[in-house]
Every structure is written in C-alpha cells, then in structure tokens.
Structure 1
Amino acid sequence: MRDWLPRIIILGLLGIVLGVPFIFRPADASHTAGNPDGSARLVIITPHNEQIRSEVANAFNTYRQALGKEAIGFDWRTSGGTSDLRKMVIADFTAKAAEGYVSKGIGIDLFFGGGDYEHNQLAKGVVIDGQDEREMIVEPIILPEGMLKQVYPKDNIGGEPLYHPKLYWCGVVLSSFGIVYNRDVLEMRQLPEPTTWADLEDPSYHGWLALADPAHSGSLAQTYNTILRRAGWNEGWAHLRRIFANARYFTSGSSKVPVDVSSGEAAAGMCIDFYGRYQAGAVGGNRVGYIDPPFVTAVTADPICILRGAPQKDLANEFVVWILQKDTQKLWQRRIGTPNGPTTFELRRQPIRRDLYTAEEAKHWTDPLIKPYEIARDFPKGTPNYYSYVAPIAHSLAIDIHEELGQAWAVINKVSDNDPVKGKMLELFDAMPEPLQLKWDSPDLAANWLTIMQSSDHPQRKQVVDTIQAHYQSLKKRWSDHDQQLKDRLDWTLFFRENYRKIVALAKAK
C-alpha cells in the first residue's frame, strides 16, 4: 500500500493541475457577456502589466461616466508573453472552427498588446483540416470618418506598419527595444555603460546578462530579429551567439529582465523600452539606466484587435476608438497629476499619434526626450523579416544547450589572441549548418554587401538583394514541411553541441 501512496498523490496533484484551467475557463461566450449585476464588461487577453491594465480601465470608465454612461467591468486574461497568448487564442479558435462554431468566438473581446507580427498571425485566421480557405478570427475595426488619417498621417514608422490595411488591428502605442543596465554592477565588473548591442558581447558580461526566451517573449524575439535585420544574417547570428553565451538565463517573461537588473542579479539585459524606463523610474536615484541603441533598434506598433464573436463587439470597438483619441493617448506618457495623465502609475509608453510629439506636450511627460519618429530608420529595401526563424534557431544554437555554449565561450576567452588555436576555436564557435549559411559569390560581396544594399543605385545592389532573398526563400521552403523543421532542429542542436564540445577539448589538449 505504501508503494502505491506516492503514485496516488502524484496522480491527484496532476489532476488538480490539469483541471484548474478548465474549472476557471468560461464554457462559452454567453458566460462572459456581462457582470453579475447586469453591467457590461470587456474580456481582454493581454501581455500588459498591472499598471497599464489599472490605468486604462480607470481612464475608460472616467471617460464613459463623463458622457453619462455606466462604468463597465474589465476581465483581464494574462498568462504569459504575447507569443504564448497568441498561440492559445489560435488553438481555441481552431478547435471552434473544427466544430463549426468559430463565429461564436471564444468568449474574449479584445487582444490588447504585443507586436505587429503576432497580430498579423491572428489576422491570417485559422486553417481547418480539409479546407483550402482560412476562417477569420478577428473583426475589422470601425473608425469614425477621418480618424485614420488623424491618428496615422503615415501608415508606417521606419518601414514598419502602424495598422493593418484592412484594419484587422491598429497600433495603440509604439515600442522600441533596448538595453537596461545597473550602474553599480557595471562598475563592479569594470564595464562602461552599454550604448549598442555589440557592447553586450564583451566577455566580462559572462553570467551577468539577463535575456528572455524568444519562443515565449514576442518583444525579445523582435529584438533579436532586429539585430539580424540590421547586421545581416551571418553577422547577426555571430553577434547573437556571443550575447547568448554571456546570458545568465533565458526567462519566459521579459518583464523579469529589468527587475533582476535593478536588484543586481544581472549587470544588463535586453527588454522592451517601457519595461526598462519604468524600472529605472521605480528604483529611483541613478542606479538603473536604459537606452535605445540609436539607429540600430526597431520601432514598431503595439496593436489591439477585436476577436471574432466578441461578446461585447460594439463596446470593444468603442474602446479601440477611445484609446486612439488624442486626449487618451496622453495617458501613456504624462506624469501623475497632469490633465489626462495617470492617477497611480506612470506608464512611460510612447504614444502612437505623431501630433503629440511637440515641445509643449513634452513638458508634461515622464520621458520628454523620446522621439521615436526621429530615431526610426527604414531597413534597406529587400531586407527579409526573420522573426519566425529566430526562436527555433536560437533554441538549437544556444538556449537548449546553454551550458555547453557557455563553457565554450569561457575557454575561448582564456586563450591569447596570439595563440593559433584561438582561430580554430572561433571557427568552430561561429560555424553554421549548411542550410543556415548565406553564401556570397565573392569575398568582396561578403565584406561589402551592407554598403551596397544601402545604396539604391549601386550596380551590384540587385545581386546582393537576390542572394539574400534566395537564401531566405530556401529556408522558408525548407521549413514549410513541419517534419523537416523538427528534424532540422534536432540535427542542428547536435551540430552546435558537438562544436562547443570540440572547443573545450581543444583547450584541454593545450
């Protein structure tokens, strides 16, 4: 009997873990249409933090009550990063679609926050087995006449879209990606304040860099994607590998990064702009700093969309229209106590409306020097978006074998630059499997491709763009086969692990 007791306990606990989500999940959309007292409520799935949720809910109800309308309830659904939330929504809609009930929705009104990539995935809809057409899972947003041009005089920032062409999503605020750092720890490690991504490759950061897993954090996936797009495929992965090798960990939630940096658990980390700025302000003093690496970061829209079958569709659309209004947009940057500002938490987000970036308005801001429309730079025309490849390759190259990567990096940095074995080590360290290698026709192109690509009238520009696109399309075609993708991830993990172990063996043989 005693032999069975541990098994019974384990099975019981497993049942509780598996059952809790179903106990608390609404059975269908009708159960989420209102509050017990009969008032309306919005059900919103979001990666946004408590500070944003609280201030937005209070401001919307203040707005409604000023119009003589009743306050509403907010049912916030938060259980992971944007990528995780998007996958949950798509899985729920796929199940509904298979049953023929996709139009009834999943009991959620809005998906609020996250990057444009995640919202574009939602805008594509879901595939039903045996059918060619996709089922849409978002509703088009309806804006008052003329409002689209008021909010978005241009449809992009640095070449990145500010809204979906069919209004399946609209950008609410702007996000940029940067470095949060602890000045006290940097001084202890004898490191200067970082100003660009390459600074994080310094071996003195080894074990002192906080990073997030791009498979769970959409903001960090976008950050790594930006490095690849700015530096190039081959060069970008070389940069990222060194940064990954310095990592203390890869957390599932990017909000942990600035908290750990501020507490001294890490010297620096990568994070979305408002996490870094908020933590710097919350700590006070001059201990924590944040920087958007100028001209090498990306500035993108942080959108909102209405999910199909929203229980409160009209109210959801009202919320979207409200949050894009000029006075509402002031909430994102104004200090506590200013008109249209927050009541409890300063949000330190970047408004999406261009007409708010004025000297007069900035007098009321927590971060009066932010100028996203000035620092944003277009990627060279023809630059692919590598977002969907970042997480799986990062896992094979670093995250799944982080111990071996760190060991290899540590021994490399103990070898003198004058020692011939160091060159062999670095060659192994930077090696990529054949399908991941972007191959140039000549050493001259390999060395100068970026300069050529940035010159619109360079005679070799088309050759450079064609080479980049051919490599991108070959990888895209290769991974259109899901089984091939799984095989590649396993094979490539083994490839990288073997190389890292060879580096350690070379050090031991010295």
Structure 2
Amino acid sequence: MNMKKNDWSYSLKKGIFPLLMIFIIIGSITSLSTATPTEINSPQGVTLNILTRHSSELFQTFKTAFLASDLATAADVDNVIFYQYLEGAWVTAAQTGTMDIGWGGGPTLFDNLVSFDLVDKMNDSGVITEVATIPEEVAGAAMKRYDAEDDLIWTGAAISSFGFTINKDVLDSKELPYPKTWTQLLRPEYFSQVAPLIAMGNSPDTTSNTKIYEIILQKFGWDLGWGILTAMAGNSVIKHGSTEVLTAVTNGEVGIGMTIDFYGYGAQLSNPACEYIIPEQQSIVNADPICLIKGASPTKRDAANAFIEFVLSDDGQGLWLSSNINRIPIKQSAFDTPIGATRPDLYNAYNITITNVGIDFDDNLAASYHGTLLYYFQAAITDAHSELTSAWSSIVTAWKNSGTSSTPRIQEYNLTEWIQNLGAPLVDMATAQAYSNDLEAGGPPRTGNKSVWTAAIKTQYGVLETASLSAAESVDSTNPQISNVLVSAFDNDSATITWSTDEPTTTTMNYGLTTNLGLTYSNEENILAFKDLPVTNHVVDLKDLVSGGEYYFEVSAKDLSGNFLSDDNSGSFYTFTLVDTAAPVISSITASPQNDSAIISWQTDEFCDSRVNYGTTDVSLTETVFNDIEVLSHHLVLLGLVPLTTYYFEINSSDGVFFTVDDNDSNSYSFSTSETRDLTAPVISDFEVNTTLTSATISFTTDEASTVVIHYGVGSPTDSVSVTILSSSHEIIISGLTADTTYVYYIEIADAFDNSGRFPVAGNNEFTTDAEDVETTTTTTTRDAIPGFDYLSVFLAIQFLFGVIILSRKRNR
C-alpha cells in the first residue's frame, strides 16, 4: 500500500489516537475498581458479576470471606467482580444479560428492576432456608418482595434508616438548635448566603438521598413535599453524591447533611461532634435487598445462589458488623457471632432501628415516579440552584423583617404559602408516573424534559423573588374556611378523612363512636415545635378502629394567627360506618368474685352483645346471663352464688353478623367465691406523670381491676376525663392543654364492687406542661456505602471509540 506523507498524520488522528484513548480509559478503570470489568471466567472456575451500590470496602470484605467459604468451593467460584453503576444505569446494565446478582440500593431500585422484568425467582433450597429466618417486616417495612405467584424475588440482607447527621460544633457556633425533623431544615433560621449550613445530594447521584426525598414526598404529599424539598435546598449546598454530603458534615463545611444511618454512624465514629438523627415520625426503616438478575447464564445460577446464601448466613451477616463496614444486619442472630459479641453499640442501634415508628411508606408508589424524581430534582433544584437560592434569600429577608418597620415583610403565618409557591412542581404525580419509565431507561424524554423544566422553574423562582421584594405585612383576623369534608376511603378497621381550607392551618379532628366523640387527632403541637407544617389539603388516616362501628366526627382548623373554625356539619356531625368483615375479638377477660356474686368483664374490638354461660363444673355450664345492648366494654353480674365455691364460665359475644365464643381453649375460665364480701378500696402504686406542650399522660397500677376518673384544671379541678373499663394497669392521656401552664388534679378509683378511693387522699396534686422550645435529640449513628465509578458510561464511550476506528479504516480504504 502506498502512503502519502500526510497519511501517517491522518491515521494517527483517525485510528491510533482513539485506540490510545481506549487504553487510557481501561487503565483508569483498572485503577478505580477491584477487578477489570472485561475479565472473563478462568478455566478453573466461575466468575460472578454483581451489580451493586455498595462501597468497594464493603464488597471486598464480603468477596474475601465468600471465596474462602465452603459455599464458594462447592459452587466452583474463584472470582467475583462488582459493578458500581449509578442508579439511573441499573436497568440498562441489567438488560445486557451479563449480570448475575443485584445487591444494595434500596427497595425502590429493586422494584424498578422488577417492573422491567429483570429479576428472577429465588427458589434455591439453601437460599430459602436462610430467608426463612428473616422477618417479613421490620418496623412496618417489608423485608421481602414476592411476585404475583407468591414466589420470592428479592430479600433484604441488611436494614437502614434515613435521616440527617449534624455537626454540633458548627450549629453551636451559629447558636442554632439541633433539628429533629425534616421540616425544621427549611426554617429561615438555617439560611446562610455566604456558607450554606445544610448539604443535600443531587438525586441521580445518590440512592440514599433520593430515598430521603421519596420519604418527604410521601409524608407531606406531592405538592407540599416539593415545596419542602425546594426550601430545604434553598438552605443547602447541592453535592454530587452522598459521600460528598458525608464529608461536608464531618469536616465542618456544613452543620447538617442528609445521610443514611450507617453514614451517620461512621461520621459519629470519626468526629465526636457529629450525631445521626432519625427524624421523629418522619422516616422509615428500609431493607437493603439482594436478588438474582434475569437473563444471566444458567450455568452460573448455582454460583449466584451460593453467594446469596453466604450473605444471608450468620457468617455473612456478621460481616456487616465489621469495623470497616459498621452496618446493621437484617438478622438478630448476627449479634450471636464472635464479631457480633464485640459490637454492643450496633446492637443498641439495631434495637432502636427495629422499634422505629415511622411513616406508612409505599414502595410501589415510590417506584412509580422514581425516574421522574431523579431528573426533575436535578432540573428544578441542582441545575437551577443559583436562581433558587436568590429567590429564597429574598423570601428569608422579608420574613426576618416581620414585626419591624423594614420592608418588604412576610409574616410567619404566610411563610408556608410562600414555600408552596416557590416549590410548586411543574408536573403533577400522574404525569410524573407516566414519564418515569422512559426517564429511567434513558429514553428521549430525559434530555428534552430536563431542559424545559429547568427553564420554566427558573422563571418561577424569578417571579417569586420579584413578588417577595414588595411583600407587605397585614393583620390577619379572618377565620379559615373549611370545605369538602369527605370520607375518602374506609374498610373494616380504618378510614381516611380529607378536607380543604382556604389558607394553611392546623389539622385537627375529633371523633368517636358516640356524639360525645372523645378521640382526637391533631398536629397542632407538632406545628408549634416546627415538626410539621400547616396545610390547605388535610388528610387524616385513622387506624385500629372498631370493625362495623358507626363513627361521628368534626374537623377544625387554626391558622398561625390564631384564628379558629370548627365544622361539625351544622351540629349533626359527620359520620361513617365501617365494613364488618370479621368476627369480634374477645380480650381482657377478668373475674371479680365476692362471697355470693361475681362480675365478669371483657373487651371486644367491635360493638357486641354480652353473654356468660357458667356452672360449678367445667362440663356443665347450665346457667346464663345475657345483655343484648351492644358495647365494647362488657360487664355482667352473676348473682346467687355459693361462698367458697369454684365456678367455671365461658364468654359469648355477637356483632349481629359474626359470633365468637371464648372458652379458654375448651378448658373454661374459673374463679372461686370468697367467704366474706370485699369492702376494701383499690390501692395505687407505680405512679408517673409525663407532659408535652399540650398534654399530660398519667400512668399507674392498682392492686385490683378498677375504673378511673381524673379531675383536673387550672387553679381548681373543674374538668375530668374518665375510663370505665376495669383494669389494673392505667395510662390516661389528658389532651387540649395549654403550654407552660400548671394544672391541679386528683384521681378517683373504684373496683367492680364500687369500693372507691381518692389520690391524694386530700387536696390536689399538680403538673406543669412543657414550655415551647426546640429540644436537642440524641439517637444512634452508622456508615454508608460509597457510590462507585460509572462503568456503563465508560463502556458506551469505548463502543463509540471503536466505531470511530472502524469508520476511519473504511475511509482509508
């Protein structure tokens, strides 16, 4: 072949240079990973390919231990390669058919793989044996997922909670309180134009921070949730990954950082000024799943099952407790291993985590808009952050001017409305769900929608900034208006009540099985403590209701200026009746005998009649006492009994549809009459009073089953609350109190035979409700996984460069 002088230069540019670039890229991959992704199975054994969100430190620990195990030897596994793809690339990576296992990243990520039919059934006998020892739920969160045929498709291998890590030194230097909830993080007090006090991760770059954003959207709803995220971002610096967030809070760049629990635990270990906080009633416990990827080589399935079985075994579970990992295993038995015995700190964290009371989180709902969330966050917050902080700075300045002569001014009671308008999402949830799969798979809408969203949200921020510059303070003396009170859903033991107000207000509902109501749901105390926000769209989910019961309710609203309105349906109360789908459940059976009589008491979980069959032998219960009035608390009196005699009895209750008999598993209950009548009043012990801003809980025990009446008031006991159920363990909540106020009270108790007593015997006791204050929180902490190198992007780049070489050769021919 003849070559001209310039042909060498042309070949260098079109052929050799791209080839050199490929070697450079591969060299970079080698330096950043634990194994070269192009490595193939060795002749001696099987190489597993695992798609993961875990850190190299974590998976190297598991790799070393697994390869040394009998499970790896039996499955002929001699190597494991881990691919640390970013969340948005998982679907594409799994679709290549080269991945054997998915491991780590949270239920939403795995449910998204399921939605693309990329997850295989887990039916290996060894795996199933280990899975059987894993709980179905922890703190209300699912630890396993099943398909439509009830076959297992993923299981949790570890557990996590989600919150934020604070640096006390930074917050103390700014004289700021330690926050306890997400909603405190959007407070203007945490805004700093010069050096932001909070760090958040860009959603596509961090699985754990994305889960936090999903929690906030489900806790507060799509619209208000985006307002909260936007205002929080106005107080924050946006980092490109969870490790950068962790570093920022650990080294004191910021005072607060969004973290998964084990990141927080790691920060606390490395810097004593750091503390991990689980937001009170605003977080969840999450499974860290593992699954089989569909489409991988069937010849490698035994090897993949061996790895999963190892991860779920006690030996594998113990590895989570290693000092270089610091994570909470899903199985309590991990703490019985030698390494588990050395980690009482993580055992304490384990117990705190499994007893966490969080929100009702719907993994399917999160998965339905997951793709849109990733890229809408980046478009509306990350890529428009400069415009966002400029608008938020103006709103904060106007808020700080409230109550002064300076202008502009935004009052506290208007702040929520400004937050909602600032972060009003450009897409509703239905549209987000429709876009989600295309965005997740990297389809055409991703680039187009992102640029449109960014341009539109910048305009929205600009409008709000301009409006805030002329905001005027006004006196609000108008009561809020309530409308659209609806029972939107109910079943046998729960109901959802919704209503609207014309301005942001508290959410309060009084309800009960009679027109006396007696039960209350209210978020007013949380709003006063900045743990919740006033809203215009109100939702109350009532649970543990009485099956088949007819409930009465009223709703009320109070704005931040103190204006109040109650809606009781013009005096008739709103009502709903639950569906009766189950037989009544009988509980708390007690017998209170005298010398010639006895009172039999019990509870049912729904309104029922009352019947007791009794006799002097357990095979002949020939006597009956019956009351057809349907109640929850049942008391029947047996008369004409013989002193010093043993009687046997069984309980019957019917709700009119279903009938329940409780005969103590065919053994009958029993009691013995006394020789003389009981004339002694009950005695109180173990007395305790606990207060909040607006309530007091009085707890005590009595030496026999008793009823209780507590008389209380300011100055004198003019109000009362009573419990007519006979019990020896008592916990009475007095609600609707005023903060920082002293109340006097006394207690009346009476047993089944009306022997009564008073506590104290004379005079009154007193308690004082809490003062309004933002308290600090003490919880436990952990470490997080480090997001890795995006091999998929490199793989696509290599493909592109090979294409350039081939094209250049064609042109040279």
Give TM-score scaled by structure 1 length: 0.71
Distance 1:15 1:323, change over 3 A: same
Higher alpha-carbon deviation: 229-238 or 217-226: 229-238
Kindly indicate whether residue 420 of structure 2 is the aligned counterpart of residue 430 of structure 1. Answer: yes
Structure-1 residue corresponding to 2:355? 374
Residue 363 of structure 1, CA deviation = 6.6
Distance 1:326 1:235, change over 3 A: same
1:46-101 CA distance string (max 9 Å, x none): 221132123212322343399899883332223x53x14414414xx2xx5xxxxx
Query: Relative to structure 1, is the Cα distance of residues 76 and 356 closer, same or farther in structure 2, using a 3 angstrom cutoff?
Result: closer
| Cα distance change on mapping 1:17 and 1:260 into 2, 3 Å | farther
Q: 1:168 aligns with which of 138, 146, 153?
A: 153
Change (3 A) 1:10 1:217: farther
Q: In structure 2, what is the equivalent of residue 495 of structure 1?
A: 456
Q: Which residue of 1 aligns with 2:273?
A: 287
Shift of 1:156: 6.2
SS at match of 2:263: helix
| Farther off after superposition, 170-179 or 386-395 | 386-395
Match of 1:158 among 140, 145, 151: 140
Do the aligned residues in 2 keep the contact of 1:226 with 1:297 (CA within 8 Å)?
yes
Which of these residues, 414, 423, 433, is aligned with residue 476 of structure 1?
433
Give the AA of the match of 1:44: I
Could you tell me whether the CA contact under 8 Å between 1:244 and 1:398 is conserved in 2?
yes
- Using the TM superposition, give the Cα deviation of residue 245 of structure 1 relative to its aligned residue in structure 2, in angstroms: 0.9
State the alpha-carbon separation in 2 of the partners of residues 70 and 231 from structure 1.
50
Partner of 2:289: 303
CA displacement, residues 448-473 of structure 1 (integer Å, 9 cap, x when unaligned): xxxxxxxxxxxxxxxxxxxxxxxx44
- Residue matched to 1:122: 113
- Cα shift at 1:209: 1.5
Name the larger-Rg structure: 2
Instruction: Write the distance in 2 (CA, Å) between the matches of 1:290 and 1:257.
Output: 13
Residues 376 and 329 of structure 1, relative CA distance in 2, 3 Å threshold: farther
Asked if structure 1 preserves the Cα contact closer than 8 Å seen for 2:51 and 2:82, the reply is yes
Q: Is residue 413 from structure 1 mapped to residue 396 from structure 2 by the alignment?
A: yes
User: Please, which moves more after superposition, 293-302 or 488-497?
Assistant: 488-497
CA distance in 2, matches of 1:484, 1:31: 31
Bigger fraction of residues in strand = 2
Which residue in the other structure is 1:347 paired with? 325
Determine the structure 1 residue equivalent to 2:56: 50
Residue 314 (1) aligns with residue 302 (2): yes
Question: Comparing both chains, which one has the higher relative contact order based on Cα–Cα distances under 8 Å and sequence gaps of 6 or more?
Answer: 1
TM-score if structure 2 supplies the norm length? 0.47
Name the structure 2 match of 1:328.
316
Q: Distance in 2 between matches of 1:273 and 1:498?
A: 37
Is the 8 Å Cα contact of residues 182 and 261 (structure 1) preserved in structure 2?
Answer: yes
Deviation at 1:507, TM superposition (A): 5.8
1:266 and 1:30 map into 2 onto residues whose CA distance is 37
Q: Which moved more, 1:402-411 or 1:494-503?
A: 494-503
Equivalents in 1 of 2:198, 2:370: separation in Å? 22
Match of 2:166 among 181, 206, 209: 181
Contact 2:315 2:334 in 1 (8 A): no
Q: What amino acid maps onto 2:281 in structure 1?
A: F
Residue pair 1:210, 1:266 contacting (<8 A) in 2 also: yes
Which residues in structure 2 correspond to 1:244-255 (within 5 Å)? 244-251=233-240, 253-255=241-243
User: Residue 270 of structure 1: CA displacement?
Assistant: 0.3
Classify the secondary structure of the residue corresponding to 1:277.
Answer: helix
- Matches of 1:287 and 1:293 in 2, distance apart? 19
Paired position in structure 1 for 2:220: 231
Could you tell which deviates more after superposition, 140-149 or 110-119?
Answer: 140-149
**For 2:455 and 2:448, how far apart are their aligned partners in 1?**
11
Give the secondary structure class of the aligned counterpart of 2:156. Answer: strand
SS of the residue aligned with 1:168? strand
Give a deviation string over 1:469-508, Cα, whole Å, max 9, x none. xxx4465347678777866654443332123223443566
Q: Per-residue deviation at 1:388?
A: 3.8
Q: Which runs of 5+ in 2 are unaligned?
A: 1-8, 31-35, 472-813
Structure 1 counterpart of 2:245, one-letter code: V
Structure with a larger share of its residues in helix: 1
How has the CA–CA distance of structure 1 residues 229 and 143 changed in structure 2, closer, same or farther, with 3 Å as cutoff?
A: farther
Q: How far apart are the structure 1 equivalents of 2:469 and 2:37?
A: 66
Structure 2 SS opposite 1:163: strand
1:392 alignment partner in structure 2: 375
Q: Secondary structure at the match of 1:192?
A: coil
CA distance in 2, matches of 1:119, 1:381: 14
Structure 2 vs 1, CA of residues 479 and 328 (structure 1 numbering), >3 Å: closer, same or farther? closer
Name the amino acid aligned to 1:397.
A
| Cα RMSD, aligned residues only | 4.1
2:343 counterpart letter in structure 1: H
Aligned to 2:41: 34
In 2, distance between residues paired with 1:117 and 1:184? 35
Q: 1:272 aligned to 2:233?
A: no
Q: Deviations over 1:156-178 (max 9, x none)?
A: 65243423443332211112111
- SS of equivalent to 1:48: coil
Q: Percent identity?
A: 22
Deviations 1:316-371 (A, max 9, x none): 110101111134212213xxxxxxxx3xx34221211255579x967733423223
Q: Are 1:222 and 2:211 an aligned pair?
A: yes
CA separation of 1:402/1:193 partners in 2, compared to 1, >3 Å: closer, same or farther?
Answer: same
- Matching residue of 2:102: 111
Is the 2:76–2:303 Cα contact (8 Å) retained in structure 1? no
Deviations 1:251-299 (A, max 9, x none): 1x21221122111222211011112212321x14x22221222331121
Cross-structure match for 2:789 = none
Q: 1:353 to 1:188 in 2, by over 3 A?
A: same
Partner letter of residue 201 of structure 2?
A
How far apart, CA to CA, are the structure 1 residues paired with 2:431 and 2:304?
41
Tell me how far apart the structure 2 counterparts of residues 89 and 429 of structure 1 sit (CA, whole Å).
39
Decide which of 250, 256, 259 is 1:262's aligned counterpart: 250
Cα offsets for 1:194-223 (capped at 9, x unmatched): 222122223334412211111222221111
The aligned amino acid for 1:430 is Q
SS at match of 1:422: coil
5+ residue gaps, structure 1, are 97-104, 127-135, 334-341, 438-471
Q: Secondary structure at the match of 1:153?
A: coil
Q: 1:30 to 1:248 in 2, by over 3 A?
A: closer
Secondary structure, aligned partner of 2:378: helix
Partner of 1:368: helix, strand, or coil? Answer: helix
Say if 2:101 and 2:290, in contact at 8 Å, map to a contact too. yes
Residue type matched to 1:250 in 2?
K
Report deviation, 1:305.
1.9
Contact 1:182 1:289 (8 Å CA) reproduced? yes
CA contact (8 A) 1:151 1:324 kept: no
Residues of 1 paired with 2:244 and 2:15: CA distance?
A: 32
Do the aligned residues in 2 keep the contact of 1:412 with 1:426 (CA within 8 Å)?
A: no
Of stretches 139-148 and 195-204 in structure 1, the one that deviates more from structure 2 is: 139-148
- Cα distance between partner residues in 2 of 1:209 and 1:16: 43
Matching residue's letter, 2:355: E
